[in-house]
Amino acid sequence: MPLVNRLYAEFLGTLWLVLGGCGAAVLAAAVSPLGIGFMGVAFAFGLSVLTMVYALGPVSGGHFNPAVSVGLAFARRFPWNEVIQYIIAQVLGGIAGAAILYVVATGRAEAGIGTFATNGYGELSPGHYGLLACAVIEVVMTFGFVTVIVAATDRRAHAAAAGLAIGLCLTLIHLVSIPVTNTSVNPARSTAPALFVGGEALLQLWLFWLAPLVGGAIAGVAYRLISARD
């Protein structure tokens, strides 16, 4: 598949992830009187990645996340010379998704965007968790997520079930970590809303690049070691 096709797939998939997951948090959880709560937001993120993995996974591999691209590269399942291009496409897709969400969220009279589903620690953490706790949860949850992705897409696994496993894993991660960091495990997802909120959300963005990339890298190396054949 030509690289430009794969990059467009990554752009579109990440757009959908941000629009679906962050949109549920901003529109349905924070604004709607029905209030879908943490569980609804968790399933929105899981369903957004599940649907795009099945739709666009055959084109680009369905990363939609810089930490996944880096993890797969460390696992020797993705070429290093395409990692930067994938990350750029993912970040741009996330920004496009956040831009669409911003237009919708500000379309009501006297509407405000609030935190706009940004990630954070300390005062920006939903549960006011400190830096160490937030760093640990992001590294560990990303490690688990990338491990599931690398394992579920292994040629020895059942390919048809990969999207379901990945989507449910992301749902579980959000159920655990929304109260801690509002759940990143994805630098592109974190960058997009932070650009619209600015201020402290941007100042804390470094953690939501560093921790997921570290978790993804560890997962890639670890899976390569445990899955090696004699």
DSSP 81: G
Tens of pLDDT, residue by residue over 12-36, are 999 999 999 999 999 987 655 556 8
Tens of pLDDT, residue by residue over 117-135, are 999 999 999 999 999 999 9
Tens of pLDDT, residue by residue over 55-86, are 999 999 999 999 999 999 999 999 999 999 99
Q: Give per-residue burial for 189-213: e unless 16+ CB within 10 Å, then b.
A: bbbbbbbbbeeebeebbebbbebbb
Express as a percent the part of the chain with pLDDT over 90.
85
- Determine the 3-state secondary structure of 128 from DSSP: coil
Report whether 67 contacts 94 (CB < 8 A): no
Phi/psi region, residue 49 (left: phi>0; alpha: psi -120 to 50; beta: rest), is alpha
Q: How many domains does the chain have?
A: 1
At 146, is the pLDDT very low, low, confident or very high (cuts 50, 70, 90)?
very high
Q: Which domain holds residue 55?
A: 3-226
The whole-angstrom separation of Cα 151 and Cα 166 is: 10
The pTM assigned to this predicted structure is: 0.94
CATH number at residue 202: 1.20.1080.10
Handedness of CA 10, 192, 50, 135 (dihedral sign): positive
